[in-house]
A and B are shown apart, each in its own frame.
Chain A
């Protein structure tokens, strides 16, 4: 079974631009969560989606948004990029119930 797939792996953007990151969950998984990982703040929760509905949202500004499609694939968007948005963005999926999260390898975003 294929794991969580995130595209692209690396991305370089300029301040003020916007970016869209994509995540394909493990087949059959209905829930997708997104995390930001930085050396200073560590791993921080962004959002969680289940069956196209946002269930939880972390403490991030409105520039960070996401969505989930009917096939469980998810995207997150960051608008008006700032230097501090440079991070590894990790997507994770799970089936539901008591199943744990399985993470992808992340998208490394660099904002210059």
Chain B
């Protein structure tokens, strides 16, 4: 069965430090992969998506993610974190190749120290 694992429940980084959030998925074929961010009381905002092609994907707010098929990973990175990046981050994979039916990881909560 398809699944998404985000191993880190909570991460704290200092403002200005680099960030990497981990995501592992299980899916036999080339997956549709997404990263979303959720601020308290809000819905999900799409950061970036991978459908095919270049394995390094650029998103909004300075985020990027790299698709590594051999490791079944799609880790999210940002070179310098801002206090406004504090939020919860969700990795998702399209179920059965669907873009509307997503399987989400449990999320990683990011705290930013001044």
Interchain CB contact under 8 A, B104 and A43: yes
Contacts of A35 in B (CB 8 A): 102, 104
What residues on A are CB-neighbors of B90 within 8 Å? 43
| A50-68 near B? 1/0 per residue, CB < 8 Å | 1000011010000000000
Known contacts A101-B46, A103-B36, A106-B43; is-contact A56 B102 (Cβ 8 Å): no
A101 touches B100 (CB 8 A): yes
Within the complex, the shortest CB–CB distance from A22 to chain B, in Å, comes to 15
Q: How many A-B residue pairs have CB under 8 A?
A: 62
A107 to B46, CA, bound (A): 19
Establish whether residues B106 and A100, one from each chain, have CB atoms under 8 Å apart when the complex forms: no
Q: Residue A4 at the B interface, CB < 8 A? A: yes
Residues of B within 8 A of A56 (CB): 95, 98, 100-101
Report the bound CA distance from A50 to B104 in whole Å.
21
Question: Which residues does B use to contact A, with CB under 8 Å?
Answer: 34, 36, 41-46, 49, 51, 90, 92, 95, 98-107
17 A-B residue pairings within 8 Å (CB atoms): A33-B100, A33-B101, A42-B105, A42-B107, A45-B101, A55-B101, A56-B95, A90-B44, A94-B100, A100-B99, A101-B46, A101-B100, A101-B102, A103-B36, A103-B46, A105-B42, A106-B42
